[in-house]
Structure 1
Amino acid sequence: MSAPRTVVRHAPGKLFVAGEYAVVDPGNPAILVAVDRYITVTATATDPGPGAPAVVISTDLGPQAVPWRLHGDRLVPSGAQDPRLRGALAHVVSAIETVGRLLTERGLSLPTLSVSVSSRLHDNGKKYGLGSSGAVTVATVAAVAALGGLELTAGERYRLALIATARLDPKGSGGDLAASTWGGWIAYRAPDRAFVLDLERRLGVDRTLRAPWPGHEVRPLPAPKNLTLQVGWTGEPVSTASLVSDLHRRSWRGSASHRRFVETSRDFVGAAAAALESGDDEDLLHQIRRARAELARLDDEVGLGIFTTKLNRLCDAAEQAGGAAKPSGAGGGDCGIALLDAGAQRDISEVGQRWAAAGVLPLSVRPALEGIEE
């Protein structure tokens, strides 16, 4: 059967429910949920005529298509480009390169292609903090692999996306990739990205996909029984990579405080996962409150700026309504999440009004039950 000429893939965004910061260390657990805001990647085979670029990438974040040529297994920009746009395309480029190496190892070749990206994870170029980098990487891997004639499992798509992302920033946990790949509520443990990259350099992409990744785990979790997930956007975009890098540079790592943070995080993440599995909503709320308190302790000790005025007001409004809330992800802006009684519509409405009065935009998002979609 011939390979398709055009492939379209949609990948959902994500939110961290619990376990931020600790999850960047291999083997530490976190809980994430995929959300129904999507990035769409369309890959189309193009004419490989003389002088044609190997890849042309266009995105709704920039006004022009960007051509690239192949230099070995790397994509090199053709001609002058806006450096900001090139940075925005880094994850797309790395995903294409990684799939290209796998195709070569399997005796195939990367077709000349155009890749078009459109996103509902931004607002006029400002990101919501819903995992746009992870979603675009997963969607690009899935679309380009299918266009090249590869049939991949969900686990292989995730692993390709992890390799592509780790080549850009090995400190990222990959939790966003897992949420975008599998969808729903998941428990996640990150692999050792340095180990994975070393394996890929020594053995190649294909053998790395099939090798054991110690410490890594993804398992589905049920949704809360009678709680609704509410999401508020502060309108203050923040770089997760920058905050995580800042934490890595500080002497806090390896200290007694760091060990306490990791141990406490493991405990409340494990308890929150157990509460989801048993349908114990009250205990789940308790664990989310513990997660907020531990992030606040970290913020007080290290001074990262995880909590902003808007995020504190978001959390306080949910607490006043009997719910539980916390920043989602690195904090410093982006989104906060709240779990509220699904049957208390008046409380839900009042929380939304308090958020709006504090300058927090309630986002109309729901958990995405499926991951990557055609």
Structure 2
Amino acid sequence: MSPRTVVRRAPGKLFVAGEYAVVDPGNPAILVAVDRYITVTVSEPDAPGVVLSSDLLASPAHCRWRDGELTGSAPQDTRQLGEGLAHVAASVEIVNRLLAERGLPAPELCLSVSSGLHENGTKFGLGSSGAVTVATVAAVAAYCGLDLSYEDRYRLAMLATAGLEPKASGGDLAASTWGGWITYQAPDRAAVLDLARAAGVEKALREPWPGFAVRRLPQPEGLALQVGWTGNPASTATLVSGPDRGAWRDTAGYRTFVETSNDFVRAAADALERGDRDTLLHQIRRARQELACLDDAVGLGIFTPRLAALCDAAEAVGGAAKPSGAGGGDCGIALLDAGAAQDIAHVQKRWTTAGVRPLPIRPAMEGNEE
């Protein structure tokens, strides 16, 4: 490998508890990083400019710098930057803003993305956008000689993401950055974008972010994380920003949902830290019930028949299960007795019968790494 080649990877994620409420600053969620990865390789380009490519796309995008932003060299390159490579381009641009503030030139590079969070181009719902953002920030920063802490990388990734998806909580970014089991609270994204615009990216890396917090948690004792994929990709942005959610946020029902979510997330985090398996399972079942109540109240379509069957199968053997993330498809998670191999096999058989594919996924205890 050339000394001017840098490789970084970031794991995907699953939400354990706290979906929907975490979108608002300061509300906690629990996530776990998983051992499926996005890998980003950065090397010297054959010609001046920036070349971005992905194994999910048929052709690379050839770009050049203009006023601190990447622009396509041809119409098809511009389309790629606005679609399949949007998160990659935003990540390269945010690192360039930091370089510019430090008096360093815009980088010229060749960047390629390889995804283990898709199958035949279909996403599993494991946070591919977040993982590619974190891996790209880390790889480009390292290529340019920047020494960034975990929090620096998260903050740059959050700034890049918030510019594209203002409602994104950034929980996937935190899980991909720190790895393992974490509790996370989203910052006020409008405030941090305003800070970066007014005072610069460097200042935004150093100032407190309203609402933001992240803390590592221990793994659950005596429980096995099982993951089932429904085969139906879901759009988190569409579900989180559903047509009825804006009005519902102004109701007493929404405030009750948030209070209840915060209660069971904090109780689940406390149970993880105390090694209290029974309480953890109880709180995950509460999380399922509250998501079902939310679904009934707002009609978001969180629970599909396959996700309901996934949950029922796990609870039938004494476990706990729920949709992971926005629901509507993608993955569900279950926590089952790690010593009950027969129960785990029985649940997986019931999942398969219901059209849910068990995925051989385990927690990734390390986050963004080489």
Match of 2:252 among 246, 250, 256: 256
Match of 2:110 among 111, 114, 124: 114
- Give the equivalent residue in structure 2 for 1:212: 208
What TM-score, normalized by structure 2, do the two folds share? Answer: 0.97
| Larger mean Cα displacement after TM superposition, 54-63 or 137-146 | 54-63
- 1-structure distance, mates of 2:302, 2:50: 39
How do 1:356-371 and structure 2 match up within 5 A?
356-371=352-367
- 1-structure distance, mates of 2:243, 2:80: 25
Match of 1:67 among 55, 62, 65: 62
Q: 1:85 to 1:94 in 2, by over 3 A?
A: closer
- Give the equivalent residue in structure 2 for 1:37: 36
Does the 8 Å CA contact 1:30/1:189 hold for their aligned counterparts?
yes
Match of 1:132 among 128, 134, 151: 128
Does the 8 Å CA contact 1:43/1:147 hold for their aligned counterparts?
yes
Structure 1 gaps, min length 5: none
- Give the equivalent residue in structure 2 for 1:8: 7
| Larger mean Cα displacement after TM superposition, 298-307 or 240-249 | 240-249
Match of 1:158 among 154, 157, 160: 154
Q: 1:131 to 1:75 in 2, by over 3 A?
A: same
**1:80 shift after superposition:** 2.5
The letter of the residue matching 2:29 is: A
Match of 1:305 among 275, 278, 301: 301
- Give the equivalent residue in structure 1 for 2:177: 181
- Give the equivalent residue in structure 1 for 2:51: 56
- Give the equivalent residue in structure 1 for 2:319: 323
2:346 matches 1:347: no
**1:243 shift after superposition:** 1.0
- Give the equivalent residue in structure 2 for 1:80: 75
Match of 2:140 among 133, 140, 144: 144
- 2-structure distance, mates of 1:317, 1:291: 16
2:189 matches 1:190: no
- 2-structure distance, mates of 1:177, 1:336: 19
**1:46 shift after superposition:** 2.2
- 1-structure distance, mates of 2:289, 2:299: 15
- Give the equivalent residue in structure 2 for 1:95: 91
The letter of the residue matching 1:166 is: A
The letter of the residue matching 2:60 is: A
Identical residues among aligned pairs (%): 68
Return structure 1 stretches of 4+ with deviation > 6 angstroms: none
- 2-structure distance, mates of 1:99, 1:248: 37
2:286 matches 1:286: no
Q: Give 3-state SS (helix, strand or coil) of 2:195's partner.
A: helix
**1:70 shift after superposition:** 1.0
Superposed CA offset, 1:282-336 (max 9, x none): 0000000000000000000100000000000000000111100000000000000
- Give the equivalent residue in structure 1 for 2:22: 23
2:195 matches 1:199: yes
The letter of the residue matching 2:109 is: L
- 1-structure distance, mates of 2:361, 2:121: 19
The letter of the residue matching 2:141 is: A
The letter of the residue matching 1:22 is: A
What TM-score, normalized by structure 1, do the two folds share? Answer: 0.96
Does the 8 Å CA contact 1:110/1:148 hold for their aligned counterparts?
no
Does the 8 Å CA contact 1:55/1:69 hold for their aligned counterparts?
yes
The letter of the residue matching 2:209 is: W
Does the 8 Å CA contact 1:62/1:85 hold for their aligned counterparts?
no
**1:85 shift after superposition:** 7.4
- 2-structure distance, mates of 1:184, 1:236: 26
- 2-structure distance, mates of 1:43, 1:84: 18
Q: Give 3-state SS (helix, strand or coil) of 1:43's partner.
A: strand
Does the 8 Å CA contact 2:80/2:86 hold for their aligned counterparts?
no
**1:111 shift after superposition:** 2.1
Structure 2 gaps, min length 5: none
Does the 8 Å CA contact 1:45/1:147 hold for their aligned counterparts?
no
Does the 8 Å CA contact 1:16/1:329 hold for their aligned counterparts?
yes
Q: Output the aligned Cα RMSD.
A: 1.3
Q: Give 3-state SS (helix, strand or coil) of 1:246's partner.
A: coil
- 2-structure distance, mates of 1:225, 1:275: 10
Match of 1:274 among 270, 273, 276: 270
Does the 8 Å CA contact 1:45/1:111 hold for their aligned counterparts?
no
